[in-house]
Chains A and B, each alone.
Chain A
């Protein structure tokens, strides 16, 4: 069973702080990594994807990947109350077709 693990939270951070969301995966053949945001009662929407070791930045979001440690993270700088949502980590192997999702981490940004 290929596992994607996330701390369910809730993770609570004050407005303006950095939120750090973490994800580990079990399949060493995994090649593509995605972060989705899901507001309560809504469908997931893609925030970022990363394929290579290191950091990838997009606005206030930074994805970090360490394949040796089988670890991917998402940093949200200058967190806003509108960032309050569940963040889903999804992993895809080169040999497979499906996205394998974690259970998600609930983030709460307090004013």
Chain B
């Protein structure tokens, strides 16, 4: 079974530029998550989708971050404009269920973003 795919794996941009990340979850997984992991910290949830609807985006900085999951499969996360503090690894995860269920979340390899 293929895992969660993410691209690109690495990205270096200048501050105020824009960047987009792509995620393809495990086939059949209804729930997709985007996490931000700053060096030395645990992952922080940015947004959670159940199929193509948003169920939690309370920690997403909506003035600069946006995400979509068209057709309930692939997802993109965009940052515009980027700030220095956005330097982090952006992890995509997926699970069979979501909401208050406890289905295991499987993580992709992540995209390491460096903002100069």
Q: CB within 8 Å of B: which residues of A?
A: 4, 8, 32, 42-46, 49, 51, 88, 90, 92, 94-104
CB 8 Å contact bits of B80-93 with A (1 = contact, 0 = none) = 00000000000100
Nearest-Cβ distance from residue A10 to partner chain B, whole angstroms: 12
Q: CB within 8 Å of A: which residues of B?
A: 40-45, 48, 55-56, 59, 91, 98-100, 102, 104-105, 107-110
Nearest-Cβ distance from residue A80 to partner chain B, whole angstroms: 23
Complex contact B98–A92 (CB within 8 A)? no
Complex contact B109–A32 (CB within 8 A)? no
Q: Is the interface of B mostly helix, strand, loop or mixed?
A: loop
Q: Can you spell out 23 A-B residue pairs with CB atoms less than 8 angstroms apart?
A: A43-B91, A43-B108, A43-B109, A44-B107, A46-B104, A46-B105, A51-B102, A94-B100, A96-B100, A97-B48, A97-B55, A97-B56, A97-B99, A98-B45, A98-B48, A99-B43, A99-B45, A99-B105, A100-B45, A101-B42, A101-B44, A102-B42, A103-B41
- Complex Cα spacing A4 to B41, Å: 11
Complex contact B48–A44 (CB within 8 A)? no
9 pairs of A and B residues whose beta carbons are closest in the complex: A101-B42, A43-B107, A98-B45, A97-B56, A32-B102, A101-B43, A103-B42, A103-B41, A46-B104
User: Which residues from A are CB-within-8-Å of B98?
Assistant: 97
Q: Is the interface of A mostly helix, strand, loop or mixed?
A: loop
Q: A43-B91, A88-B42 are in contact. Are A97 and B100 (CB under 8 A)?
A: yes
Nearest-Cβ distance from residue B96 to partner chain A, whole angstroms: 13
